[in-house]
Amino acid sequence: MPAYVVSVVQFTNMTPQLKEYAQKSAVLAKRHGGRYIIRGKSAEILEGAGLEGRSVVILEFPTMDQLKAFVKGDEYQKTVKPLRAGTGIYDIGIFESPPPAMQ
């Protein structure tokens, strides 16, 4: 069953390391079976202010195990994630796909 990483980010410091983070995290996610569903700012905000000035990333993995291997693995935690340090406010959650009866 698919699993998702959902990130809402307010960037405060666009560093060269942030660009490197974006590239390396994308390559690593793909190696773990991940694919981006959404990556960027809203085309239009319909209600509320929670997405104002923020980017959203939705990254889909075939299974929760593959997602966790990516996000909790040593390569991401020790090599890739530190590249985004000091670049913004990150709100990140892991979600399971709804059961087939709810789709």
Domain positions in the chain are 15-33+64-83
Place of tokens 């796909």: 97
Mean pLDDT across the stretch 7-23? Answer: 96
Given a contact cutoff of 8 angstroms between Cβ atoms, the answer to whether 87 and 13 are in contact is yes
Q: What is the structure's pLDDT at 68?
A: 98
Q: What is the structure's pLDDT at 101?
A: 73
Question: Per-residue confidence at 103, pLDDT binned at 50, 70, 90?
Answer: low
Given a contact cutoff of 8 angstroms between Cβ atoms, the answer to whether 33 and 62 are in contact is yes
On the question of pLDDT at 102 being above 80, the answer is no
CA-atom Rg of the chain in angstroms: 14
Q: What is the structure's pLDDT at 98?
A: 82
pLDDT in tens, 24-63: 999 999 999 999 999 999 999 999 999 999 999 999 999 9
Q: What is the structure's pLDDT at 100?
A: 73
pLDDT in tens, 77-97: 999 999 999 999 999 999 999
